[in-house]
Chains A and B, each alone.
Chain A
């Protein structure tokens, strides 16, 4: 990796191409100092920052959509640091789309005031750059840097409501645990990179395949520690403790960011880590798969159980996030290219429905000043728009057809079911039972989650509360955002094909690799 002359030459030769693939991130990087400078040089009264940020994100999204990539595999850029492929790209597009919706939402719900706007957008965009790097990291160094780039602004975002104690406490909990988790992950990275003598995950994967039998204990421990760090980001049990507290304390908009964007990128990173470090056919592969399956099942169940009896909407949504993280992790229990379409679909659906739910919470909070579930009593009378959209989001989170949540869940279940079927006659038939069990658990969980999702709906439509409450108004822009999200939920629920095709294309970047690895193994046998 280090500049002996030939490497440097290759690096500069590919620089133009690499940079062209990196344009979305570059635009966002440029936006950050630009926003800060704007605030410094002009009065914020004359220059509204939100449109600038929005324009930058929009441009980045356009460039991301126009990225030219090979259909199979991806393009290795920056001397092996990043891998730009269709899988990473689809998650990056989702992240940018999220920003495109979240920035106007933040403006409408007035989370940043006029002075804060630059900070807020800077933090959001900065964290998003980190998340985007997470989706395309190919080198362990990049994994570490990306996770940190995403985390550090998130700590600040969690405490963004300055002067509010819960917000500060949320930031405290996030930053303390985050630091410890990144230390742990880094220790794992040091063990893995040290054992294999390189941080390049492709090379590591190759070495794991070559070893064919076992990797050293220290390397395996390192792998597990790295997964520990990722599980922390995913708020999987037992690393979920920070999640409900942070969500409760932070603003709903920040909660949405942590729950949607951060989870999406972490899952993408987890997929890559499993793919590279999990190895294929090596002894620790199965151990990892079982571990992953158990954690996914426990996380899902834990989240759904704990969501019962919550009185705070954001806290309830936090547990719901934990449960959904478990569900999404289920796709990765058997990681091959087939896991990608359901994962991508889930991420896109989750973006629409969870951002929507948090947006409704934010609008309700803005007018009532409360985020307790009681506030939703009789919401249907106070604001039919909010109540109806919340109903759509809740039903979608629950997974009722014909909404996006159903489509996503269905694909995850189908993926698991296929695998249960596929492993039935193999040498590891026990996996068939594992997946069937996971499937049954997921079904029970769906029933469990009905308890609290429908509870919200019931509150909005049936419980009226004692005193007559004033109607709530939603700003026009808010209506637009909500209708976009509701439209997204309904469209994704009714019209699967386009996104599934994207997912299949994304899957091809992995499919190609496995073929390459097969060739590797074959050559070794000869």
Chain B
């Protein structure tokens, strides 16, 4: 029972069970306030199972069903002579999914614990935990699936849960709108992903959606379809763009902050939004074959990174700063992914996944701290309304500081190491013949972004925790252990996970480098691991510079910041208004769509009226015949007699 393959099934199954139990608890009035129990238990057990599974990777073949020769469990299957459209319920844990699993289940568990305190007394308490558990199930399914279709099922599952949780306070119009926006915008990308998957299936001989099967045919496919193959990769990438909030589809993520803060931490920072990164890492064997696509990925990543960082500079909403920071950091990861090819893929992809991993920790802790602040500040999150909270919320302050330092890339902290790897990838990619200059340019963008990151992170930190004590009305700052423990655990992770995992031992890259897809993508090239001291010193200096500027501008009074804003009006307002992207989209996309929709509505109204007109006919006829039923016995008798006489008379006298 406790064999790795069975545990593998338990990883998604347990949270699913938890979700069902939460629903069951929710339907019993007395149990409603205990609805977190199944969620926490199942998440913790799932985490334990995941850790066991991961410890077995590399030693045993972790695959479900375990017996490889055995028939896989068929999900559905439609087969003709030449075509086989089938999907198996196959789970497989390799190094890549292993790392994802640790992040999802470990951080997920602590966030669920944090939610107990944060969501306490909220209406729909069981609904929250049911949705979070369902999310964990879908997310683990997504990373464990061994084929595109099952992965897509998980992919849609997390999208659904994201929708449910962003719109958790569904009676709030902005939350409902944000949920809809998140769902629809990611849907755009999802269509691409589905098309891409089917294109790959088609090119691979219409046989299987299995990753390994398709990857093995990658070289043949790229020769046979020199244009279609990159197109398929681009389509898959569009799915990642939607889910991981990259330009131009990033607009949903800042709005998604309408959801409860633990959700922002779990789904919109640590896990779901990284699904795109996971997908591209998983498909590294495909993407490395198309340098142009890789360059596109890198450009979009870098562009998103600097764009989001620029917007984050001036945001006043603490959670929005973090949201844009997430978008920006995801851009970093895509930049690294785009470098795979020019750089040894296992190195570049490792950089991306490593950043994903560390980012999950420090962004989760940042969001949870923000949530803690929000909880204390009576659901107020505008940084202009509070400051100097470090004495009132000591644990939160400490945790936020750890997260912020890691995000800013302060030397020796986890964010520093992973960001360093990404920068190094970009730098190395600049030495390649094709697109070399481009990658140098991207490196420049990245290092600028790093400085901006340090600045806006610490701007938020100083404005919240330093300066004179200021609180909105109704705030009653307090911290509870159920929220503090997860904060501290994750804060330690944010500090230490980087230095433990990679820089001196290279444990992480060695582990990940054995993933089949990366081995295949490497095609025999070997990644060199060395510490690039000049780069490290440089990036450390940049981070310190950013922090220093933030200190100078915001630690005391923010007079200098206001002056600067006055002097640089145009860039300031551009950033504050998010570069007017929402407005541009509104004019370019939403309004035309609304016009088309209005036209359709008009057509529908006409059709509807026509249908109603037709429906009038029977009613009219009914009104003609109903008066005959007037209740008079003798009228009835006469009618029947006349009817009989007519029938008999006609048939006997005329027809005969």
Q: How far, in whole Å, are A291 and B656 apart by their CA atoms in the complex?
A: 13
* A177 touching B640, Cβ below 8 Å: yes
Closest to B619 in A: A308
* B622 touching A309, Cβ below 8 Å: yes
Max count, chain A CB within 10 A of own CB: residue among B637, B642, B643: B643
Q: Is residue A297 contacting chain B, with contact meaning CB distance below 8 A?
A: no
Tell whether A305 pairs with B640 under 8 Å between CB atoms, given A176-B633, A224-B648. Answer: no
Q: Is residue A473 contacting chain B, with contact meaning CB distance below 8 A?
A: no
Q: How far, in whole Å, are A172 and B637 apart by their CA atoms in the complex?
A: 13
- A274-317 interface code vs B (CB 8 A; 1 in, 0 out): 00000000011001000100000000001011111100000000
- Cross-interface CB contact of B648 among A173, A176, A228, cutoff 8 Å: A228
Q: Is residue B625 contacting chain A, with contact meaning CB distance below 8 A?
A: yes
Tell whether A228 pairs with B618 under 8 Å between CB atoms, given A238-B640, A241-B636. Answer: no
Q: How far, in whole Å, are A180 and B641 apart by their CA atoms in the complex?
A: 10
Q: Is residue B647 contacting chain A, with contact meaning CB distance below 8 A?
A: yes
Q: Is residue B81 contacting chain A, with contact meaning CB distance below 8 A?
A: no
* B639 touching A238, Cβ below 8 Å: yes
* A291 touching B651, Cβ below 8 Å: yes
Q: Is residue B568 contacting chain A, with contact meaning CB distance below 8 A?
A: no
Closest to B644 in A: A228
- A150-173 interface code vs B (CB 8 A; 1 in, 0 out): 000000000000000000000011
* A228 touching B647, Cβ below 8 Å: yes
Tell whether A220 pairs with B625 under 8 Å between CB atoms, given A238-B640, A241-B640. Answer: no
* A287 touching B651, Cβ below 8 Å: yes
Q: Is residue B621 contacting chain A, with contact meaning CB distance below 8 A?
A: yes
* A245 touching B629, Cβ below 8 Å: yes
- Cross-interface CB contact of A217 among B618, B639, B656, cutoff 8 Å: B656
- Cross-interface CB contact of B629 among A172, A241, A287, cutoff 8 Å: A241
Q: Is residue A22 contacting chain B, with contact meaning CB distance below 8 A?
A: no
Closest to B651 in A: A287
Q: How far, in whole Å, are A284 and B652 apart by their CA atoms in the complex?
A: 10
Tell whether A244 pairs with B629 under 8 Å between CB atoms, given A217-B656, A224-B651. Answer: yes
For B642, list chain A residues within 8 Å (CB). 238
Q: Is residue B626 contacting chain A, with contact meaning CB distance below 8 A?
A: yes
Q: How far, in whole Å, are A225 and B655 apart by their CA atoms in the complex?
A: 16
Q: How far, in whole Å, are A239 and B628 apart by their CA atoms in the complex?
A: 12
Interface residues of A in 231-273 (CB under 8 A from B): 232, 237-239, 241-242, 244-245
Q: How far, in whole Å, are A304 and B618 apart by their CA atoms in the complex?
A: 9
**Distance in Å: Cβ of B379 to nearest Cβ of chain A:** 33
- Cross-interface CB contact of A224 among B618, B622, B629, B652, cutoff 8 Å: B652
**Distance in Å: Cβ of B652 to nearest Cβ of chain A:** 5
Q: How far, in whole Å, are A220 and B651 apart by their CA atoms in the complex?
A: 9
For B640, list chain A residues within 8 Å (CB). 177, 180-181, 232, 238-239, 241
Q: Is residue A221 contacting chain B, with contact meaning CB distance below 8 A?
A: yes
Range of interface residues on A (Cβ < 8 Å): 35 or more
* B636 touching A177, Cβ below 8 Å: yes
**Distance in Å: Cβ of A167 to nearest Cβ of chain B:** 15
Q: Is residue B631 contacting chain A, with contact meaning CB distance below 8 A?
A: yes
Closest to A238 in B: B643
Q: Is residue B595 contacting chain A, with contact meaning CB distance below 8 A?
A: no
Q: How far, in whole Å, are A304 and B625 apart by their CA atoms in the complex?
A: 11
Closest to A304 in B: B618
* A241 touching B639, Cβ below 8 Å: yes
- B601-622 interface code vs A (CB 8 A; 1 in, 0 out): 0000000000000010011011
For B628, list chain A residues within 8 Å (CB). 241
Q: Is residue B623 contacting chain A, with contact meaning CB distance below 8 A?
A: yes
Q: How far, in whole Å, are A126 and B31 apart by their CA atoms in the complex?
A: 56
For A217, list chain B residues within 8 Å (CB). 652, 656
- Cross-interface CB contact of B647 among A224, A244, A448, cutoff 8 Å: A224
Q: How far, in whole Å, are A181 and B655 apart by their CA atoms in the complex?
A: 24
* B636 touching A448, Cβ below 8 Å: no
- Cross-interface CB contact of A448 among B618, B626, B631, B648, cutoff 8 Å: B618
Interface residues of A in 79-107 (CB under 8 A from B): none
Closest to A181 in B: B640
Q: How far, in whole Å, are A188 and B647 apart by their CA atoms in the complex?
A: 14
Q: Is residue A451 contacting chain B, with contact meaning CB distance below 8 A?
A: yes
Interface residues in B, total, Cβ within 8 A:
25
Q: How far, in whole Å, are A325 and B332 apart by their CA atoms in the complex?
A: 74
For B615, list chain A residues within 8 Å (CB). 451
Closest to B638 in A: A241
Main secondary structure of the interface of A (DSSP, over half): helix
Tell whether A177 pairs with B652 under 8 Å between CB atoms, given A224-B647, A239-B643, A305-B618. Answer: no
* B636 touching A242, Cβ below 8 Å: yes
Q: How far, in whole Å, are A225 and B651 apart by their CA atoms in the complex?
A: 11
Q: Is residue A419 contacting chain B, with contact meaning CB distance below 8 A?
A: no
Closest to A215 in B: B656
For A309, list chain B residues within 8 Å (CB). 619, 622-623, 626
* A220 touching B619, Cβ below 8 Å: no
Q: Is residue A67 contacting chain B, with contact meaning CB distance below 8 A?
A: no
Q: How far, in whole Å, are A197 and B647 apart by their CA atoms in the complex?
A: 25
**Distance in Å: Cβ of B614 to nearest Cβ of chain A:** 10
Interface residues of B in 466-505 (CB under 8 A from A): none
Q: How far, in whole Å, are A239 and B656 apart by their CA atoms in the complex?
A: 24
Q: How far, in whole Å, are A448 and B643 apart by their CA atoms in the complex?
A: 25
* B631 touching A245, Cβ below 8 Å: yes
Q: How far, in whole Å, are A214 and B655 apart by their CA atoms in the complex?
A: 12
Q: How far, in whole Å, are A238 and B648 apart by their CA atoms in the complex?
A: 13
Q: How far, in whole Å, are A239 and B643 apart by their CA atoms in the complex?
A: 8
* B621 touching A220, Cβ below 8 Å: no
For B629, list chain A residues within 8 Å (CB). 241, 244-245, 306
Max count, chain A CB within 10 A of own CB: residue among B622, B626, B628: B622
For B636, list chain A residues within 8 Å (CB). 173, 177, 241-242
**Distance in Å: Cβ of A191 to nearest Cβ of chain B:** 11
* B639 touching A451, Cβ below 8 Å: no
* A306 touching B647, Cβ below 8 Å: no
* B637 touching A306, Cβ below 8 Å: no
Closest to B648 in A: A224
- Cross-interface CB contact of A305 among B622, B644, B647, B651, cutoff 8 Å: B622
* A177 touching B637, Cβ below 8 Å: yes
Tell whether A451 pairs with B618 under 8 Å between CB atoms, given A220-B656, A244-B629, A287-B655. Answer: yes
Q: Is residue A184 contacting chain B, with contact meaning CB distance below 8 A?
A: yes
Closest to B646 in A: A238
Max count, chain B CB within 10 A of own CB: residue among A176, A237, A308: A308
Q: How far, in whole Å, are A225 and B644 apart by their CA atoms in the complex?
A: 8
**Distance in Å: Cβ of B653 to nearest Cβ of chain A:** 9
* B652 touching A221, Cβ below 8 Å: yes
For B621, list chain A residues within 8 Å (CB). 305
Q: How far, in whole Å, are A304 and B640 apart by their CA atoms in the complex?
A: 20
Closest to A245 in B: B631
For B619, list chain A residues within 8 Å (CB). 308-309
**Distance in Å: Cβ of A236 to nearest Cβ of chain B:** 10
Q: How far, in whole Å, are A214 and B651 apart by their CA atoms in the complex?
A: 13
Q: How far, in whole Å, are A239 and B639 apart by their CA atoms in the complex?
A: 8
**Distance in Å: Cβ of B518 to nearest Cβ of chain A:** 51
* B647 touching A291, Cβ below 8 Å: yes
Tell whether A306 pairs with B633 under 8 Å between CB atoms, given A232-B640, A238-B639, A239-B640. Answer: no
Q: How far, in whole Å, are A172 and B619 apart by their CA atoms in the complex?
A: 30
**Distance in Å: Cβ of A318 to nearest Cβ of chain B:** 10
For A304, list chain B residues within 8 Å (CB). 618
Max count, chain A CB within 10 A of own CB: residue among B618, B637, B655, B656: B618
* B651 touching A173, Cβ below 8 Å: no
Chain A residues within CB distance 8 Å of chain B: 172-173, 176-177, 180-181, 184, 214, 217, 220-221, 224-225, 228, 232, 237-239, 241-242, 244-245, 283-284, 287, 291, 302, 304-309, 448, 451
Q: List 10 A-B contacts (CB under 8 A).
A: A176-B637, A237-B643, A238-B640, A241-B628, A241-B629, A241-B636, A241-B639, A245-B631, A302-B625, A451-B615
Chain B residues within CB distance 8 Å of chain A: 615, 618-619, 621-623, 625-626, 628-629, 631, 633, 636-637, 639-640, 642-644, 647-648, 651-652, 655-656
In addition to A177-B637, A308-B618, 7 A-B residue pairs with Cβ atoms within 8 Å of each other are A180-B637, A238-B642, A238-B643, A304-B618, A306-B625, A306-B626, A309-B622
